[in-house]
Amino acid sequence: MVSISLLGTKVGMTQIFNSTGSAIPVTVLQLGPCLITQIKTTKSDGYNAIQLGYLKVSNKKLSKAELGHLQKTNTTSLKYLKEYRVDSSKYFKIGQTLTTENLKIGDFIDVSGKSIGKGFSGYQKRHHFSRGPMSHGSKNHRQPGSIGAGTTPGRVFPGKKMAGRMGGQKVTIKNLQIIDIHTQNHIILIKGSVPGKPGSLISIKTK
């Protein structure tokens, strides 16, 4: 079986009911159609990969470099480009369209997206630290406590868990099952949640 990758957007979350009446939380994704804009092979580039393009836009939305890259293969103007590694590139050709028809109900996929940004967050929210005592006289309610030793080493080690910006990073959720597929609208339902806000860009990869 050839591994299939697609780009799309997150529509939102809802729930469906199975035959026994149990509610299943599902995320609605609109995937593709995606065009193959470039194919890389071991002979030419040292590895096998395909580049997918998603979401048609006007030429004014792209730079000259992006337009030149797409015009090499006579491809329409596409807003998003993403490269995926493949075991073999012989199953693909430039200009080929990948849609939800390449997916099957019951398949497991990995979904990647940009998580919702939370801004500058403290220790309890960002790293799930436990707070200090809340009794009268305690001056350590939500403080970090010690951040290192004294004279030796005389510094704070890199990577120390402290307050800072939270979210807004690439997150991948693995092994999410496809519950239903609507090929006419390029929509699939997957069990569970995926990172990002509704309308944000996501990418999937089959197992």
In the predicted model, is pLDDT for residue 2 greater than 70?
no
Q: What is the rounded average pLDDT of the residues 145-173? A: 93
**pLDDT 10s digits, 41-91:** 999 899 999 999 999 999 899 999 999 999 888 888 999 999 999 888 888
Q: Which two tokens stand for residue 108?
A: 């497991």
Burial class (CB in 10 A: 0-12, 13-18, 19+), 102: middle
Question: Tens digit of pLDDT for each residue in 100-122?
Answer: 998 999 999 999 999 999 999 99
**Alpha-carbon dihedral sign for residues 109, 113, 118, 122:** positive
Residue 207 or residue 38, greater confidence: 38
- Distance CA(100)–CA(77), nearest Å, equals 21
Task: Read off the pLDDT of each residue in 142-165 and give the average, rounded to a whole number.
Answer: 92
Give φ, ψ of 128 to 5 degrees. 60, 35
Whose CA is closest to 54, among 10, 111, 110, 7? 7
- Contacts of residue 139, defined as CB under 8 A and 6 or more positions apart, other chains included, come to none
Reported confidence tier of residue 3, pLDDT bands at 50, 70, 90? confident
- Quote the percentage of the chain above a pLDDT of 90: 78
Q: How many CB atoms lie within 10 A of CB 35?
A: 21
Pick the CATH number of 5-114+170-206 from 3.30.160.810, 2.30.110.10, 3.10.105.10, 3.10.310.10: 3.30.160.810
Cis peptide before 144 (omega within 30 of 0): no
pTM of the model: 0.84
pLDDT the model gives residue 123: 93
Q: Where in the chain is the domain with CATH 3.30.160.810?
A: 5-114+170-206
- Residues 38-49: tens digit of each pLDDT: 999 999 899 999
Q: Are 10 and 189 in contact (CB under 8 A)?
A: no
The 3-state DSSP class for residue 165 equals strand
